[in-house]
C-alpha cells in the first residue's frame, strides 16, 4: 500500500472512531435527557395574579428531584428531594400534602409570586366563594363546559406528544446519518484498498516489462 493510501486509511479510521464516539455521546445524552423528562409525572397548574381579582393559568408538569445535580443537571447526585417544574423553577416548601387531583391524577396547584414569578408556592386548600353560582348552571351548559375542559386537556396532551415526537424523529435522523457515514467510510476504504492493489500490480508489471526489454540477445550461433 502506498504512502498516500496509508495516510488516507488513517484519516478514515480517525473519522470513523470520531463519528462513533459522537454517536455514543449523543445516545447517552439523549437517554439521560429522556430519563429526566420522565420524572415530570405530576400535572401542575400555575396561577398568576393579574389584579382586580383575576388570575392567569399555566399548565405544566412537575416531579421530584434531588438538590445536587451533575452533567448539565441531567443526573441527580445527592441532597434532599424537592419538587421542580419543567422550566426548572423550584416549588418552595413543597410536600406530599400539597397534592390535589388534576385530570384524575395526582397533581399540584401552584401560585407564582406577583413581583417574582420564579418563586412558586403550593396551594394546599382552595375555597370556592361562588359555589352557589355553579349549582345554578343548567345541565346542558354544564356538559358543554365539561366537554370544553376535556378538549383543552386533550389538546395539551397532544402538544406534549408532538414535542416528544419531534425529539424522537431528530434522534432517528441522527442515528440514520451516523449509519450512512459509517457505510460511506467503509465503502471508501474498500475502494481505496482495491485502487492501491491495482497500482501495486501496475508497478510490478512495469518492472517486469523493463527487465524483458533490457535482456540482450545471444551473439553466438549454435
Q: Rounded to an integer, what distance in angstroms lies between the CA atom of residue 158 and that of residue 151?
A: 10
Which pLDDT belongs to residue 4?
Answer: 46
How would DSSP label each residue in 169-196?
HHHHHHHHHHHHHHHHHHHHHHHHHHHH
**Phi, psi of 82, rounded to the nearest 5 degrees:** -150, 160
Q: Distances in Å between the alpha carbon of 147 and those of 138, 150, 157?
A: 14, 5, 15
Placement of cell 389538546 in the chain: 155
Rounded CA gap, 210 and 121, in Å?
A: 92
Residue ranges per structural domain of the chain? 1-38+128-205, 40-126
Say how far apart CA 121 and CA 18 lie, in whole Å.
47
Sequence-separated (6 or more) residues with CB below 8 Å from residue 2: 196, 199, 200
Report yes or no: 103 and 43 within 8 Å, Cβ to Cβ: yes
Q: Can you read off the three cell numbers belonging to residue 153? A: 386537556
Question: What pLDDT shows up at residue 70?
Answer: 84
Q: What is the pTM of this model?
A: 0.51
Q: CA quadruple 26, 28, 31, 32: dihedral positive or negative?
A: negative
Check residue 57 and give its pLDDT.
Answer: 92
The one-digit pLDDT tens for each residue of the chain (222 residues) are 454 455 455 456 677 777 778 888 888 888 888 888 889 999 999 999 888 888 899 999 999 999 888 887 788 888 888 999 999 999 998 888 899 988 889 999 999 988 888 999 998 887 767 666 656 655 555 556 556 777 776 776 666 676 677 777 777 778 877 777 777 777 777 777 776 777 677 777 767 767 776 654 544 444
pLDDT value for 91: 92
Grid look-up 409570586 returns: 113
Give the integer Cα–Cα distance in Å for 157 and 195.
57
Selection from 109, 60, 119 nearest residue 87 by Cα: 60
Strand partners, 61: 43
- 3-state SS, 82-147, equals EEEECCCCEECCCCHHHEEEECCEEEEEEEECCCCCCCEEECCCCCCCCHHHHHCCCHHHHHHHHH
Amino acid at each position: 500500500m502506498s504512502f498516500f493510501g496509508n495516510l488516507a486509511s488513517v484519516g478514515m479510521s480517525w473519522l470513523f472512531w470520531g463519528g462513533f464516539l459522537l454517536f455514543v455521546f449523543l445516545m447517552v445524552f439523549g437517554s439521560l435527557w429522556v430519563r429526566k423528562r420522565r420524572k415530570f409525572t405530576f400535572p401542575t397548574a400555575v396561577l398568576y395574579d393579574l389584579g382586580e381579582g383575576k388570575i392567569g393559568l399555566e399548565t405544566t408538569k412537575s416531579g421530584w428531584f434531588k438538590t445536587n445535580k451533575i452533567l448539565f443537571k441531567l443526573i441527580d447526585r445527592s441532597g434532599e428531594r424537592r419538587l421542580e417544574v419543567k422550566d426548572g423553577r423550584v416549588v418552595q416548601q413543597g410536600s406530599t400534602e400539597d397534592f390535589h387531583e388534576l385530570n384524575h391524577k395526582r397533581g399540584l396547584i401552584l401560585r407564582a409570586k406577583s413581583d417574582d414569578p420564579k418563586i412558586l408556592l403550593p396551594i394546599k386548600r382552595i375555597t370556592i366563594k361562588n359555589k352557589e353560582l355553579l349549582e345554578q348552571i343548567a345541565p346542558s351548559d354544564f356538559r358543554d363546559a365539561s366537554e370544553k375542559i376535556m378538549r383543552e386537556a386533550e389538546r395539551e396532551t397532544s402538544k406534549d406528544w408532538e414535542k416528544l415526537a419531534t425529539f424522537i424523529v431528530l434522534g432517528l435522523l441522527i442515528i440514520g446519518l451516523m449509519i450512512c457515514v459509517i457505510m460511506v467510510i467503509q465503502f471508501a476504504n474498500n475502494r481505496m484498498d482495491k485502487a492501491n492493489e491495482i497500482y501495486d500490480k501496475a508497478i510490478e508489471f512495469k518492472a517486469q516489462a523493463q527487465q524483458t526489454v533490457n535482456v540482450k540477445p545471444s551473439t553466438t550461433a549454435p
